[in-house]
Amino acid sequence: MSFYPKLGYLIFGSRLRRLSEYFLAEVNKVYTHAGIPFDASWFPLFFLLSEGKQLTLMDIAQELEVSHSAVSQLITNLKGKGLVTTTRCAEDGRRQLVELTRKGTALLSQVLPIWKAIGQSMEELVQEDPQSKKILEAICAVERSVADDPLSARILRAVDINTKTISL
């Protein structure tokens, strides 16, 4: 038996991360093969900006459910590549508005067919096994559950911190 399955839920997060890293690496191989200078980790931001709207850093952070700092780092990286630009918000000078540059928009037009192919390929992949068809629904269910009651709280309830014993 493989190392990962025998550990069950103890290694659940590591398996999800490993699978995520695999998918990102495979998609990056496609971009490289196509000669497109795009990184799969940029997808969420590019998708948000694909409608041509200007978004604040805070709007992006909230929509992607990541920290303001993570968004700021990504924006700085993409600004350095000339793919996005920021301008001060007219109503509130503390806020920055982000949008794709011409170069970013041109890159977007190159990746759109890849995104369509990714969607089709993933649909094919999940059709190969009846359990796979349920994966997005299952992930959503887990996300809702931990939003309602965080995993750390669940673990702490199961462990008596003072005695370091598990209550069953």
Domain count, the chain: 2
Q: Are residues 116 and 140 in the same domain?
A: no
- CA distances to 42, 45, 70, 92, 148 from 75, rounded to whole Å, are 10, 9, 9, 19, 31
Q: Are residues 82 and 124 in the same domain?
A: yes
| Joined tokens for residue 19 | 């699978």
Q: Are residues 112 and 163 in the same domain?
A: no
Residue 31 lies in a domain: no
Q: Are residues 45 and 124 in the same domain?
A: yes
Q: Are residues 71 and 120 in the same domain?
A: yes
With b for 16 or more beta-carbon neighbours within 10 A and e for fewer, the 104-133 pattern comes to beebbeebeebeeebeeeeeeeeeeeeeee
Residue 25 lies in a domain: no
| Joined tokens for residue 79 | 């600004």
Rounded to 10 degrees, the C-alpha dihedral 14/15/16/22 comes to 110
Q: Are residues 89 and 146 in the same domain?
A: no
Residue 135 lies in a domain: yes
Give the pLDDT score at 125.
92
Tell me, what CATH number does 101's domain have?
1.10.10.10
Give the pLDDT score at 61.
95
Look up the pTM and report it: 0.82
| Joined tokens for residue 2 | 């493989």
Residue 164 lies in a domain: yes
- pLDDT average per 10 residues of sequence, the chain (168 residues): 80 92 97 97 96 90 94 96 91 84 97 97 92 89 93 88 59
The boundaries of the domain holding residue 160 are 130-168
The 10 Å Cβ neighbour count of residue 22 is 10
